[in-house]
Chains A and B, each alone.
Chain A
């Protein structure tokens, strides 16, 4: 609670220089190589690209969620006139500007969907229109139709991009003139931006992830997705900040006080995600309504139960206990470890959300047509079956994300003339 200020160290390297270009090149390289590998694996998987596309959705949701999480810091910081985060805010803004690239990458599953691919989302399959087996599905097929779905996808992308662009552009403008009125403008803009952000994040989660099991529903799903997105976002921010510092930049400005705060947010959101995930699980377990429990029944028995336990321990219990102490957040190797850890488990959580739906299919046993999988809770289809394409697509999308980050890491890496910079540099924790 000190009102102390510091000024930017005279020797501080805050120009990105070629950093962004390098990162972009590396990212594109990784993306391209692993995409090729994934395409080969996907083609040879023998299910007409189904596994490839499912992994694509998981990986895309992963990079999308990281952008969502990082952007949250930008919006919140402006909304509450935050002080500690000014030194890392430009980095977060640059990371948020990966939205357009992320949404372009997402066309990799949107375009097949619109072009008529039936096996990714059940509601795109002709069986969905059968009122006898799907009477709770037919009424929403107008909403869940490839065309409208893709339209909403474009709207989300456009809105995220527009907001991220506005915030970084205005912030960069302030580098030139140090005008405090810009901070005011950004603060005023952040309020409606928050509202739009909340709506499109919830609906993006409903659309892309929840509709994987289209007869299932949960009102908290969007909030839970946002919670896990923020865990990933802060973890990615930590790694980006530390990575930039390793190149010799910003070494005087960002110190263990800021790491501590990033770690605190990671901790807080780990807890918040666990709270929303537990609420969703416990309430649906307790109410015991078949239309809701089918989703969990599928994930808590058979092979999937091990994944569930891994997520409970790995994404929540272990980081929660260890991130409680102030030291794990302040010491670089420890923070890196937990950031990487959470990023891995965040992917696993999204995998767990999406991949069980892979097993639904209309199969024929003898002459009878049986709809199986999460929609009927048939436990015979409980195998997880990790496939290499899951990992390669994931790495490919990480490359896309890095390219997106790199594209916007140019110019000043710190908002040099932001009025709150002095406070941020002098920031101290209790």
Chain B
């Protein structure tokens, strides 16, 4: 790529000053995003965060080791409360992943150009969240090394997977979601990896140039290739949207197809999807608010974007609230004694504290977002986002553990306490998530460079309209 080839230069026309400004703007975007990956030494805060994350991950690995070698009995699950932290965490993580796809796909389809500053990180977050989520169904089987039995293959046990079960639907849905998210994320990164490639090559950093070069598949920005790329991107966005709805709906089917009061209710699919978007947005901004501060990205991840996210959280939080209200109303309306009891028990039974935490964090906390002052204060948003995630965790816990602990047969009623391995595994997944996210932030293009450029007003420079 040296200029030692023989070319003939014709001086052509001098550039326009406005054109110069536009090109400077594009270069600025490239620089501002690329320096994060090109900085010779990582930021101290990044190292500290990575250290903490690795410690948490180690705790998780130990918990997994004990679980796999000893058995599921090390958890607090019992015959009564047979799903507890394991499935709560699964649903929580999958829900978090949904915001990424929503930001990438749905906001793309609805032409919300402000998404371009956050979509790459959000997509990465989705993938890491789904990885964390996938651990739980795998491990809670008790014999995770036999998980491959769930893939249909000829065998001599005369068994095929039970496709009519929501748990199998989960396998397909989460796998599809995982693969789609990875493909969508990677596809979006290819032009930016090409940018990184060219920068490394220009600097003479051969190793990185080869790595980024291989990953960017030889991308050269050809318009004919952009044409197909754009169509594929649009269609993937169009496919990812129903996928997002379907994945969390299938997860909700795990509960709703049963007959347990508090679980069996038809509103679960859209209610879970709304809740997923709610908690997912909260997690995206829990990550991006400190990141944009530490890595000087406030001019790309702007305050207006934070404000838009707050409104989305308020909206989806209200949808969750509407679902609570509808469930309550219909529980009374149905006249079903067990349904009635299930809802009274949620508020006044042994897990009342979890219920009020849930209502407080999911219904009350987002009401703060009505106020512009709060929407424009990143520190407060950060705290509220964490509370929202806590609330959504407790929502799943309340649904699962409370309903199971007080089901049809009073002789079966019991209480549930998590063990250190339940907590350890959850902490471990947090560690895994943050580790992966920190690594992504350091080495990959964290903002969709080409998309940001395409969304800037300078992208229309020189057009005669």
Contact = CB atoms under 8 A, between A and B. Distances in A.
Nearest to A286: B257
B242 A271 contact: yes
A280 B266 contact: yes
A135 to B, nearest CB: 7
A218 interface: yes
Contact of A219 (B111, B265, B336): B265
Q: Give the dominant DSSP class at B's interface.
A: helix
A287 B242 contact: no
B371 interface: no
A207 to B, nearest CB: 11
A3 B457 contact: yes
A428 B133 CA distance: 40
A136 interface: yes
A313 interface: no
A80 B315 CA distance: 11
A140 to B, nearest CB: 6
A133 interface: no
Interface in A76-117: 80, 83-84
A43 interface: no
Nearest to B246: A275
Interface in A36-94: 80, 83-84
Nearest to A280: B266
A223 B330 CA distance: 14
The A interface, classified by DSSP as helix, strand, loop or mixed, is helix
A279 B269 contact: yes
Contact of B336 (A2, A136, A223): A136
Contact of B257 (A4, A223, A283): A283
B264 A223 contact: no
A223 B270 contact: yes
B42 interface: no
A108 to B, nearest CB: 26
Contact of B269 (A136, A220, A284): A220
A4 B322 contact: no
B267 A1 contact: no
Interface in A1-20: 1-4
A140 B331 CA distance: 11
A222 B457 CA distance: 42
Contact of B334 (A3, A80, A217, A430): A217
A276 interface: yes
A143 interface: yes
Interface residues of A, number: 42
Of A140, A219, A221, A280, chain B has the most CB atoms within 10 Å of the CB of: A219
Given A136-B334, A136-B336, A217-B330, A283 B268 contact: yes
Contacts of A391: none
Contacts of B455: 1
Given A140-B335, A219-B265, A275 B257 contact: no
Interface string B30-73: 00000000000000000000000000000000000000000000
A142 to B, nearest CB: 11
A199 interface: yes
Interface of A: 1-4, 80, 83-84, 135-137, 139-140, 143, 191, 194-195, 198-199, 202, 206, 215, 217-223, 271, 275-276, 279-280, 282-284, 286-289, 291, 430
Interface of B: 110-113, 230, 234, 242, 245, 249, 253, 256-259, 264-270, 314-315, 318-319, 322-323, 325-327, 329-330, 332-336, 370, 454-455, 457, 460, 465
30 contacts: A1-B111, A1-B113, A2-B460, A3-B460, A136-B336, A137-B335, A140-B333, A143-B333, A195-B318, A199-B322, A202-B322, A202-B326, A206-B333, A218-B330, A219-B266, A219-B326, A220-B266, A220-B269, A220-B270, A271-B242, A275-B249, A275-B269, A276-B269, A279-B268, A282-B257, A283-B253, A283-B257, A283-B264, A283-B265, A286-B257
Given A220-B270, A283-B266, 4 more contacts: A140-B332, A202-B322, A219-B330, A287-B256
